[in-house]
């Protein structure tokens, strides 16, 4: 199976946790798009009804509208029943690094507002220590780039401004992202997360700690459900 097929298998398995009448947080990225399409298909087939989605990015909102998922906002529905989203890294404790898709701020807001967060991915996302395969994205106000970059370096990171197609990447909220590389991974994610948030100009970081209660991970051999069962 290709990586895309594995992502699709994990996403479609996770959608088993979605039931009629729910408000659903819709994640962002190459794995989450399969989840959005699966929910759209279930709505078209009539197997799901009265679903409202809260998208974590403009891209996800466009895809949800394309497949027929009615959308709402956190102002109208401040409590979300379940959020399904991808991750860049998943630790054995189901702590995550997220944000390579550029939507970490809205993703964390939605995850925090959710009764339940389910993370989906292929087997390559499982790591023994966070920060060993993926950099840690940090969303930053453009005005503060210089001081924040120096501060992140003082914490042992190698921060790199994210560039896409030769142009500085700008988030949906108008901010930049500094991708922080840690040569040996992150020893204490909670400590690093707290330290990063202390610097003025930092909007949010991509450490999602204690938010996911279930992970659905697809490999060539099986689909693992880690943590709490889907239903």
Angle at 47 between CA 69 and CA 211, to 5 degrees: 60
Which tokens hold the place of 228?
A: 């709490």
Treating both helix axes as pointing N-terminal to C-terminal, what angle do 32-45 and 3-14 enclose, rounded to 10 degrees? 50
Element (H, E) at 120: strand 117-122
Beta carbons within 10 angstroms of residue 155's beta carbon: 14
Q: For this structure, is 184 an active site residue?
A: no
Distances (CA, A) of 107 to 28, 42, 101, 114, 149: 8, 23, 10, 11, 23
Q: By 3-state DSSP, what share of the chain in percent is helix, strand and coil, each rounded to 5?
A: 30, 25, 40
* Contact partners, residue 216, CB within 8 Å, separation at least 6: 10, 11, 13, 14, 118, 119, 120, 121, 223, 224, 225, 226, 230
In what side-by-side order are the strands of the sheet with 214-218? Answer: 52-55, 23-26, 82-86, 117-122, 214-218, 223-227
Kindly name the residue from 89, 107, 139, 204 that is annotated as catalytic: 107
Which positions are catalytic?
107
């Amino acid at each position: 199976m290709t990586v895309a097929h594995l992502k699709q298998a994990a996403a479609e398995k996770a959608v088993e946790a979605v039931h009629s009448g729910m408000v659903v947080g819709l994640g962002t990225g190459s794995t989450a798009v399969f989840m959005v399409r699966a929910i759209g298909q279930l709505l078209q087939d009539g197997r799901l009804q009265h679903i409202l989605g809260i998208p974590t990015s403009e891209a996800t909102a466009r895809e949800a509208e394309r497949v027929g998922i009615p959308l709402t906002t956190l102002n109208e529905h401040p409590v979300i029943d379940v959020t399904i989203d991808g991750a860049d890294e998943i630790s054995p404790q189901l702590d995550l690094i997220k944000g390579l898709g550029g939507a970490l701020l809205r993703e964390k807001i939605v995850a925090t507002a959710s009764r339940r967060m389910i993370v989906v991915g292929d087997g390559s996302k499982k790591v023994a220590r966070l920060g060993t395969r993926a950099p840690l994205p940090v969303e930053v106000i453009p005005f503060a780039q210089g001081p924040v970059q120096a501060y992140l370096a003082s914490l042992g990171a190698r921060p790199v401004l994210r560039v896409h197609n030769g142009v500085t990447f700008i988030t949906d909220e108008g901010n930049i992202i500094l991708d922080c590389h840690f040569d040996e991974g992150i020893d204490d994610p909670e400590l690093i997360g707290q330290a990063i948030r202390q610097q003025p100009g930092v909007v949010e970081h991509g450490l999602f700690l204690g938010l996911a209660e279930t992970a659905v991970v697809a490999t060539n051999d099986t689909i693992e459900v880690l943590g709490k069962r889907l239903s």
